[in-house]
Amino acid sequence: MRKIIHIDADSFYASVEIRDNPSLRHLPVAVGGSPDKRGVIATCNYNARAFGVRSAMSSAKAVLLCPDLVFVRPRFEVYRSVSKDIHTIFRDYTDLIEPLSLDEAYLDVSECKACKGSATLIAEEIRARVRQDLRLTVSAGVAPNKFLAKIASDWNKPDGIFVIRPQDVKDFIPQLPVRKINGVGKVTAAKMEALGITTCGDLQRLSKDDLERHFGSYGERLYNLSRGVDNRPVQTEWVRKSLSVEHTYDHDLQNLDAILDSCEPLFEELLERFNRISDAYLVSKRFVKVKFADFTQTTLEELLPGYSGQWRSLPDYLRLMSAAWARQKKPVRLLGMGVRLRDPKNNNLGEQLSLF
C-alpha cells in the first residue's frame, strides 16, 4: 500500500504578491493583465473569489463583478524561485516528487522514515515549514494513490488537509461527484448525466463493457477510478543535484559568534543526511546560505578541487559562513549548509582516477 501526498499552494501567485506587499492583505487581489488592455486573470485571492472572480476570466469581466479589485502584474521569476524553495522542503522527505505545475506536486512518501512514517504527520510538517519559512499556505491531500490524493488536497482548501486512509476509500468514493474525476470535463459529465450518472457510486453500477461502450478507451480507467483504484506511479525525472540542511531560528542570531556557534549542529546534520542518500554521489562543491532578518538572502559556494571526501570539514564551512555573513553583517534568521553533487549516472571513472 502506497502513501501519496498531493500538495497544492493556495491562490499561489496572489499569495506571493500579498506576502511581498502586506498592504494588499485585506483587499480583493488579482494577478494578471489590466482590464483596459484586454487582460486575463491568472489567479486571484479568496477575497476576490467571493465576488465570483476566477482564473482565466477576462479582467474586464472581473472588474464588473468586483469593482474594487486590485490588479497586480505577474512576476514569474519570483514564482519559479518560490516553487524551488517549496521543492527543497519536499526533498527532505522523498526524492519521488512529480511536479504538475509551479505550485502543485505529488510526493510518494511510502519509504519515508520521518514522522514515524506517518504520511499525515509528514504532510502537516511540510505545511508548517512552508508557512514558517516561506510565509505561504499550501493545502495537502493524503491518500493511497494519486487520484485520491489530488481530490483530497482540494477538499479543505485553502490552508487545509484531508486524509483518505486505505480503509476509508470504500465509504468515501460512492458519494464523490463524477465531475471531480480528472478527465471528466463538461462534455463527459453531461453525457453521464443523461445516463443518470452523477456520482462514482452510480458509475460503479456499470460493467466494464458498458463503460467501454459509452466512453471508449477511457471506460476502463473510469471503472478503476470509480472504485478508488489508481496504480499510476509518481513519476520523477529528477536526479539529486544538491543536499542541504537549514534551520530557522526562534530568535535572530545577532552576531558572528552566535552564527558560528550554530554551525556545528548543522554540519553534523548534513553529514548524517549525506550518509543516508545513495553513496554513488560525488561532491563537487560546498555551499552555505544565510537569510537575514529582513528576508534578503545570500549563498556562497566553493569548488572542491581535490577528491570529493574533502567537503567534510567544519572549519571550511565556518570560513565560508563568515564570508557570507560579512556581505551584509545583519541579524540572521536562517542558516543553511550543503553540498552540490554530481549525477551518479554520469560519474566518469577516468576523471575520478585522474584526481589521485
Burial of 147 (0-12, 13-18, 19+ CB in 10 A): buried
- Three-state secondary-structure class, residue 130: helix
Is 279 annotated to bind a ligand? Reply is no
By 3-state DSSP, what share of the chain in percent is helix, strand and coil, each rounded to 5?
45, 25, 30
**Cell numbers given for 277:** 542518500
Q: Total residues at the site for ligand TTP (CB under 6 A)?
A: 15
Buried (b) or exposed (e) across 7-25, using 16+ Cβ within 10 A?
Answer: bbbbbbbbbbbbeeeeebe
* Catalytic annotation present for 237: no
Residue from 17, 103, 108, 133 binding Mg ion (CB under 5 A) = 103
- Binding to ligand TTP by residue 9, rule CB under 6 A? yes
DSSP run (H or E) holding 70: strand 70-72
Residue from 39, 158, 331, 344 binding ligand TTP (CB under 6 A) = 158
Query: Looking at beta carbons only, is 2 or 49 nearer to ligand TTP?
Result: 49
Residue from 2, 7, 29, 43 binding ligand TTP (CB under 6 A) = 43
**Cell numbers given for 209:** 463493457
- Binding to Mg ion by residue 105, rule CB under 5 A? no
What does DSSP assign to residue 232? P
Considering the candidates 17, 98, 104, 246, report the single residue annotated as catalytic.
Answer: 104
Least Cα distance to 29 among 52, 3, 8, 49 occurs for 49
- Binding to ligand TTP by residue 17, rule CB under 6 A? no
- Binding to ligand TTP by residue 130, rule CB under 6 A? no
Q: Which residues contact 291 (CB under 8 A, 6 or more apart)?
A: 248, 297, 332, 333, 334, 335, 336
Residue from 3, 6, 7, 12 binding Mg ion (CB under 5 A) = 12
Query: Looking at beta carbons only, is 72 or 184 nearer to ligand TTP?
Result: 72
Do residues 266 and 247 make contact, with C-beta atoms less than 8 angstroms apart? yes
**Binding segment for ligand TTP among 4-12, 118-126, 168-176, 336-344 (CB under 6 A)?**
4-12
**Binding segment for Mg ion among 99-107, 151-159, 246-254, 260-268 (CB under 5 A)?**
99-107
**Binding segment for ligand TTP among 99-107, 109-117, 118-126, 304-312 (CB under 6 A)?**
99-107
Residue from 24, 34, 55, 88 binding ligand TTP (CB under 6 A) = 55
DSSP run (H or E) holding 321: helix 314-326
Is 103 annotated to bind a ligand? Reply is yes
Q: Which of residues 243-302 bind ligand TTP (CB under 6 A)?
A: none
- 126/118 Cα distance (integer angstroms): 12
Residue from 4, 5, 7, 9 binding Mg ion (CB under 5 A) = 9
DSSP run (H or E) holding 249: strand 242-253
**Binding segment for ligand TTP among 7-15, 90-98, 122-130, 225-233 (CB under 6 A)?**
7-15
Q: Give the annotated binding-site residues for Mg(2+).
A: 8, 103
Query: What is the contact surface with ligand TTP in residues (CB under 6 A)?
Result: 8-13, 42-43, 55-56, 101, 103-104, 157-158
Query: What is the contact surface with Mg ion in residues (CB under 5 A)?
Result: 8-9, 12, 103
For the annotated catalytic residues, the residue numbers are: 104
